[in-house]
Chain A
Amino acid sequence: MDPKRGRGAVMSLALYTMMILALLALVTFGSRLYAGLTQNRQQNEQVRASLSTLVTALRASDAEGAVSRKEGPEGPALCLRQEDTGYESRIFLYQGGLYQQLCPQEDPFDTESAQLLAYTDRFEAEPEGRMLRLTTGEGTAWVALRCEGGEGVG
């Protein structure tokens, strides 16, 4: 065998190996980065889905005596009453999810009919004067109750 040809073949093989390894490294790096980006995006969506939905729901029901707390299936539940219909919207934690149930005020909690708002492992609604602190696994949001007589949460 011609030694020059043999050396050339080895060089070509080494070059191809290097290119394939670089490609593999790039693909691995890219897939890891993509997984990270997706996780980040999901986390941002979780924050918006849980905290922003809570704040918006609370703001929409901000009327005198409309906001109260009850004991839910797994900790406190936030109840937003609709005085004109006799219904209330209950937001509570259940099996790793934040659920919303719309039902007559006297009905018991029914996790089957509730709708999932977001996945989270924590939910607290703590009143502090005219402010309400909403905490989920994704963070904390403060809400000022603007309604007349909104001196606290019932």
Chain B
Amino acid sequence: MAERKLPGSFRLQLLALLLAFLGALGLLAQAYGRSALLSQKAEQLNLSVGLARNGAEAFAGCGSLEEAALLLGGQTQGEDLALAFFDGAGQGCDPEGAAYRMEMAQTPEGREEGWLYTCEIRVYRAEDDQELYALTTTRYQPGGEGGGL
């Protein structure tokens, strides 16, 4: 009788081992998946910080939002909004097939001797419009009439 019970017990142990093994596999696969996702996010964040910084530099160095947009390969939509599209490597491209979209929205504020332009720069992932990075920068433009666009 004892000889007949052993294989059953062994199978039970094997089954428990298999379940534990599968559980460990599942946890490891989940950890791998998360790390891959985090790595992808880090890459996108790194690139979007660079794009936003370029946008801020262009806004600071160019005389107007339109010039800044042209420098970055984008274009303005109205007076206070500029859009630029970039591929996965951060190079300027057409809206179709773009991996990133950058929006530059400026708000002019009249001062006694000029205009203070505040620009909000936001970088989005093109596929799902998720915001990846945003920064705000300002530029003062002297001149009685505000030196608008």
Contacts and interface: CB of A to CB of B under 8 A. Distances in A.
B71 A40 contact: no
A141 B57 CA distance: 9
13 contacts: A19-B21, A23-B21, A40-B40, A40-B43, A44-B42, A131-B57, A131-B62, A139-B50, A140-B54, A141-B50, A141-B57, A144-B58, A146-B60
A9 to B, nearest CB: 10
A139 B61 contact: no
Interface of B: 7, 10-11, 14, 17-18, 21, 25, 28-29, 32, 35-36, 39-40, 42-43, 46-47, 50, 53-54, 57-58, 60-62, 71-72, 89-91
A138 to B, nearest CB: 9
Interface in A14-31: 15, 19, 22-23, 26, 29-30
Contacts of B71: 128, 131, 142
Interface string A52-93: 000100000000000000000000000000000000000000
Contacts, number: 84
Nearest to A130: B61
Given A47-B46, A139-B90, A29 B32 contact: yes
The list of the 9 closest CB pairs from A to B, nearest first, reads: A144-B61, A144-B60, A131-B61, A142-B57, A142-B54, A144-B57, A44-B46, A130-B61, A40-B39
A16 to B, nearest CB: 9
Contacts of B91: 140
Given A43-B43, A144-B58, A37 B35 contact: yes
A10 interface: no
Contacts of B25: 22-23, 26
A40 B42 CA distance: 9
Contacts of B32: 29-30, 33
Given A36-B36, A40-B39, 6 more contacts: A22-B25, A33-B36, A37-B35, A55-B53, A143-B61, A144-B62
Contacts of A41: 39, 42
Contacts of A51: 50
A33 to B, nearest CB: 5
A33 B91 CA distance: 27
A19 B32 CA distance: 19
A33 B31 CA distance: 11
